Amino acid sequence: MRIQKAVITAAGRNQRTLPLQTLIDRDGAEKPVLRIILDEVLASGAEEICVVVCPGDEPAYAKAAGDQAGRIRFLPQTEPLGYAHAVYSAREFTGQAPFLHLVCDHVHIGGTCTKSLVEVAQAESCAVSAVQPTRESLLPHYGTVGGQRIAGRADLYRIERVLEKPTPTEAEQQVLVPGLRAGHYLCFFGMHVLTPSIMDILAKQLAEARPGTTLSTALAELAAREQYLALQVEGRRYDLGVKYGLLSAQVALALEGRDKNEVLAQLVELLASRTVAA
């Protein structure tokens, strides 16, 4: 299985402007968030990219993509029907091919998460989602998986169950993973490699207009149909949509980049001045 296509969803009504925000990347260059995500996708080996946007946002996104705009297909999500529908909007683009999927409102920093995910999916010829052990207080922000560790691998799990933003009680009862630290669960990292089956499942669930249909409900059915793995990745994910999300992502990028020492000096100076003022 070779992953050549990628789908980035950017049509959320409350998050549509986040990928257009400018951050300073590790190399010290100013880049829109979209361009940072595109660089990550291209580094994974994907050659064809689709970005699902709100109708009318195509010009702004093309500008943000810069010199990579020519290799991107922009697809409008014609109705604001949610995240699962946004992924489904790319069905003609993906066809019968597996594809890499990233969300537009997360920045991933540290390690080679996307490339590692694609390599595992291609080696195992199945769907794989990136996950990270996450403390239970953050469960309201993430889809969560349960399953068993693959023998001989410390970072790979066979997914048996998927829950969308469970409560701590639900997580303890349904998605507890043996071997994880107490109070921690495997939560989605914001990137997946998905097989064509996901589009069939989404078509069925969306047509039935099931209450609460999300990508997680579709992934739960995928796990029941075929082998579906979770790869525990290094690095950190930064949700740009939460309070101070952009600030946190910017600081993290700076501390990973060439200007690390300068930024650290400025942070120390700022903290020192606040301490004196207090």
pLDDT value at residue 206: 92
For the stretch 6-31, pLDDT in tens is 999 998 877 889 999 999 998 999 99
Percentage of the chain beyond pLDDT 90 is 76
Pick from 86, 119, 116: nearest CA to 8:
86
Report the CATH number of the 5-277 domain: 3.90.550.10
pLDDT value at residue 75: 95
User: Mean pLDDT throughout 239-248?
Assistant: 92
Asked if residues 104 and 15 have their Cβ atoms less than 8 Å apart, the reply is yes
What is the sign of the dihedral through the CA atoms of 76, 100, 109 and 253? Answer: negative
pLDDT value at residue 16: 85
**Residue predicted with more confidence, 278 or 104:** 104
**Residue predicted with more confidence, 34 or 208:** 34
For the stretch 67-80, pLDDT in tens is 999 989 999 998 88
Examine the pLDDT at 211 and tell me if it is beyond 80: no
Which sequence spans correspond to the domains of the chain?
5-277
Stretch among 131-140, 249-258, 267-276 having the lowest mean pLDDT: 267-276
CA distances from 119 to 10, 44, 161, 231 (A): 25, 9, 23, 11
In this prediction the pTM is: 0.92
Name residue, tokens 């925000």: 21
User: What span, in angstroms and rounded, lies between the C-alpha atoms of 125 and 23?
Assistant: 35
Q: Give the model's confidence band at 235: pLDDT under 50 very low, under 70 low, under 90 confident, else very high.
A: confident
pLDDT value at residue 13: 78
**Residue predicted with more confidence, 186 or 208:** 186
User: Mean pLDDT throughout 88-104?
Assistant: 96
Per DSSP bridges, beta strands 143-149 and 156-164 are: antiparallel
For the stretch 262-275, pLDDT in tens is 989 998 888 888 77
